[in-house]
Each structure stands twice: as structure tokens, then as C-alpha cells.
Amino acid sequence: MDTTWDCIVVGAGAAGLSAALVLGRARRRTLVVDAGEQSNRHADGIGGLLGNDRRAPIDFYAAGRAELATYPTVELREGDVVGGRRDADGFVLELADGSEEAAQRVLLATGMDYRYPPLEGIEEHWGHSVFHCPFCHGWEHRDRPLAVVDRGRALLLTAWSDDVTLLTDGPADLTSEERERLDEAGVAIDERSIAGLRGPDGTLTAVTFTDGSERPCGGLLVPVTLHQRSPLAAQLGAVFTEPGPLFADALAVDATSATSVPGLFAAGDAAGAMPSVANAVASGNTTAAMVVMSLTTAPRGLDPDATVMDVAVPPIREELGSPSSS
């Protein structure tokens, strides 16, 4: 029996599970390897995911896994992919237990590491009452006294509460126009230096300041930067995008979700999809379809000198047949 997988999906978050479902339904022999550290696993619920709104992430991932278990072509394995190389037939990935698995295609759905500001006490509140995305968690914190340390999004937060304070963590270099706009929107400005966050069991009750004072607070919006969590893409030689305000190093992909390495695809946060579970599901879905197309139309082996488009996806119109040819 051929021991080469059609595709190995690395990561079983929303993107990886969604991709594996499409691959399994397309009868592609698919191995999913997952280290079980989905970025939102500590959050109370998933906000804004149609059909699963406010569902606990752990339940959502379990449901995805249960759906995959009904497809005999998909195998899900717990573990870490610690290394990989490309060869003429495709890829060989090395797992933490020392085993190796070969595949014609690899789909990276490895997610990103969300880095937040180093505020004392932030870790125990992260994903509960301290959040980076008001669309995900604003509803649960509506009408409370909210604070924000991200000046670019202070006005946005007024969608969820009339009691919003911009914390500048020291004297702010805001222009008079900026101060006026914030004032008009009812956003207070607090220029005290932040000492930390206080509140029991992940429930923020106050922001404390270095002068010993504090401000009651029922929710805090912070900025984050997203960084590759896995070194695998770099090891395989993939190219990354230039650092931006949100993504420090997203994988560069083309319109077919192909990376710069022929046969290597990427989906979800790792590929710079706008970070949300819905977008990760969508990205996994379309990326898997591209992988299936590339598997069914490209020669089995990967020419090491081939360009991305040689082995990725042929023009879709050609594949489906143009209207005039039907």
C-alpha cells in the first residue's frame, strides 16, 4: 500500500478542521496533525460565528473532530510537527515522536501567536474580560465601563458602551483635534501610568495605576500583534509578508492559497486571513478545494524547479470548461 498521504494538514483549529473536512469529502487520503493549542481555546465563547455563536471553543473543536471521524480517508493525530523537507515526490514531515510522514501536499493551518501588551495581570484575564477584538467579545461586555489601550480603536469601542476611557499609560501626545474627537464621542482620557489589572477569576474589575489609584473597569480592549507559532513554514522555505500593524509575519499566499513553495498551501490566521473563526473556516474550506484541484490536475511528483503556478491550480475556468465549450 502507498504510504504517501495526499495531504497532511498541520493544525486542527478552525482552518485545519474545515480543510480536512473538504479533503475527506473529496476522498483524499488526509492526515491531520494537531498540537491542540488553538488561539482562542481559553476564551469563554466564540462570538459572531453563525450557527455556533457564543459556543465554547472546546465544544466547537470537538464537534469538528467528530464530523471528521465519519470520513475514513481522514486520520487525526495529536502531536507536533517539528520539522519537514521537500523532495521530488512532495514532502516529508517529522513528528515530535520521531516518526516521519510523507505527503504530496502540505496545508499549513498552524495559527498565530497573539502577543498582547505586557500588563501585570493580563494573562489571567486574557480571552475573558481582556480582549483584542470587540466584534468577538464586545457584546458580552456591553454597557459596562470599558477601557482601551489602543488609541486607534477608542472610538470603535463606543459601539458597545457609552462609558469608554482611553488609557494612555502616561502623558499622551494626542493632538488637540484628536482630543476634541474623543471628547465629542464621549471617550474619557486617563493619562495615569498603568500598574496592572485586578479582578477575580478572569473578571476584570479595575485597572490600577502606579500612583496607587485605580479605575473601575469591566472590560479592556488591547492591541495585539500576530506571529507565526510554528517554524515549519520557514523551514520549508516559504516566504512571509512584510510586517504590518496586525500581522508580524503572515505567510505570503497567492489567490489559490499556495505559498511560495510548490505544493505547500496555507490557510487561516497563519496565511493572514482576517483573524476570526468564520474567516478561518472559510479559508480552510477554499484552500482545501485548491489542494484537491492541484492533486487531480498536476503530476504526482513535484518538480523542485517548478514555479508555484506549475503545480498549484490550473486556471479554474479551463478546468470547469468555459460556457462556450459546454
Judged by beta carbon, residue 11 or residue 90, the one nearer ligand FAD is: 11
- What gap in Å lies between CA 48 and CA 134, rounded to an integer? 10
**Under the criterion CB under 6 A, does residue 16 sit at the interface with ligand FAD?**
yes
Residue 133 sits at φ, ψ, to 5 deg, of -130, 105
**What's the rounded Cα separation, in Å, for the pair 157 and 220?**
10
Query: According to CB under 6 A, which residues from 108 to 147 bind ligand FAD?
Result: 109-111, 114, 126-127, 133, 136-137
Alpha carbon of residue 96 to chain centroid? 23
Of 66-74, 138-146, 202-210, 262-270, the segment contacting ligand FAD by CB under 6 A is 262-270
Site map 75..94 versus ligand FAD, x via CB under 6 A? -----xx-------------
Residue 46 within binding range of ligand FAD, rule CB under 6 A: yes
**Which residues are within 8 A (CB) of 51 and not within 5 positions of it... i.e. 6 or more apart?**
none
> Can you tell me which of 43, 233, 251, 253 binds ligand FAD, judged by CB under 6 A?
43
By CB under 6 A, which span of 23-31, 36-44, 66-74, 255-263 interacts with ligand FAD? 36-44
**In terms of Cα–Cα distance, which of 127, 124, 165 is closest to 144?**
165
Interaction residues for ligand FAD, span 266-305 (CB under 6 A): 268-270, 275-278, 280
End-to-end C-alpha distance for the chain, whole angstroms: 38
The one segment of 175-183, 203-211, 228-236, 250-258 that binds ligand FAD by CB under 6 A: 228-236
Angle subtended by helix axes 57-68 and 14-25, to nearest 10: 20
The residue range among 65-73, 104-112, 141-149, 253-261 that interacts with ligand FAD, by the rule CB under 6 A, is 104-112
| Minimum gap (Å) between residue 207 Cβ and ligand FAD | 19
Residue 59 makes contact with ligand FAD by CB under 6 A: no
Supply angle C-alpha 63, 64, 70, rounded to 5: 95
Q: What are the backbone angles phi and psi of residue 229, rounded to the nearest 5°?
A: -90, -30
C-alpha to C-alpha distance for 270 and 284, rounded to whole angstroms: 11
- Nearest distance in Å: CB 9, ligand FAD: 9
Residue 9 lies near ligand FAD (rule: CB under 6 A)? no
Helix (H) or strand (E) holding 294: helix 277-297
311: cell is 503545480
**In whole angstroms, what separates CA 16 from the centre of its chain?**
10
Residue whose CB is less far from ligand FAD, 63 or 309: 63
Residue of 22, 24, 29, 40 that binds ligand FAD (CB under 6 A): 40
Question: What cell numbers appear for 63 in the block?
Answer: 464537534
Residue list 148-187, contact with ligand FAD (CB under 6 A)? none
How many CB atoms are located within 10 Å of the residue 45 CB?
19
Contact set with ligand FAD (CB under 6 A)? 10-16, 33-40, 43, 46-49, 80-81, 109-111, 114, 126-127, 133, 136-137, 229-230, 232, 268-270, 275-278, 280
